[in-house]
Amino acid sequence: MLNIGHRGAAGEAPENTLASFLLAIKQGATAIELDVHVSADGEIVVCHDATIDRTTDSRGAIADLTVEQLKQADAGRWFNKAFTNERIPLLGEVFDAMPVDFPINVEIKSNKHPQVVQKLIALMQNKARTNSVIVSSFGYEVLYALKRAEPEIRIGLLYDKPIDYRALAEWNKVKLYSLHPHYKLVNHDYAKDVIAQGYMLYPWTIDNEVRMKELIENQVSGIITNFPGRLNQLLVASDQ
């Protein structure tokens, strides 16, 4: 079962920073989840929001800022002074900081399909990440475009309401790798059905230990959490 650090160890470090990702691994995460947008100069940038207002000491839309401008922002101090001078990472920098086979869940936030699709494919191929990355999104069209352009890439559907995932895959003639539902949609029967269909099941975002234990018992494929250290203790205790 994967212990997936949500934006790293976002409960204890500034989200979507190298410090957060490295802390997640230190705490026992066996995968990380992160979010991406495309900068004004066409680079894939790791950040959850479309702007840097909430998670840095600067302001502006990522799509309107160059990497040079984005790198001037402090992405750590807002969380805690101990993280002062942490910077917004590029996706390529995160790839370089992790072992090549370390699982990374890349969530696409941008709706600029052609730009993000081609740039992500090129980066994954250049960094030999085709087999270690799962690309997820609430925007299914960008996932389908990605899969059609590069069939080897693994894609996963994000959702917070019930969906007919089998019909979606059939209608769009694509092979899904994983499902990423809100954790409240997952019970024993749901998990059993999804896994029986051959999909990986990665519910999000679970920080409560009671709910973590339930999902471990339901044998989901992985759990996305802001506190990978907390989940690691439960997984060790359950021998998963």
- The amino acid present at 156, given as its one-letter code, is G
Q: Is 180 a catalytic residue?
A: no
Which one from 6, 37, 182, 188 is the annotated catalytic residue?
6
> What's the pLDDT tens digit per position in 7-41?
999 999 999 999 999 999 999 999 999 999 999 99
β-sheet bridge partners, residue 134: 105, 154
Total of domains in the chain? 1
Question: Domain containing 221: what range?
Answer: 2-238
> What's the pLDDT tens digit per position in 146-194?
999 999 999 999 999 999 988 888 888 899 999 999 999 999 999 999 9
Q: Is 198 exposed, middle or buried (0-12, 13-18, 19+ CB in 10 A)?
A: exposed
> What's the pLDDT tens digit per position in 120-155?
999 999 999 999 999 999 999 999 999 999 999 999
Element (H, E) at 133: strand 133-137
> What's the pLDDT tens digit per position in 187-234?
999 999 999 999 999 999 999 999 999 999 999 999 999 999 999 999
Which one from 48, 113, 180, 182 is the annotated catalytic residue?
48
DSSP per-residue codes, 161-185: S---HHHHHHHHT----EEEEBGGG
Say if CB 55 and CB 78 are below 8 A apart.
yes
Q: The pTM is what?
A: 0.97
Q: Is 182 a catalytic residue?
A: no
Q: Give the domain CATH number at 225.
A: 3.20.20.190
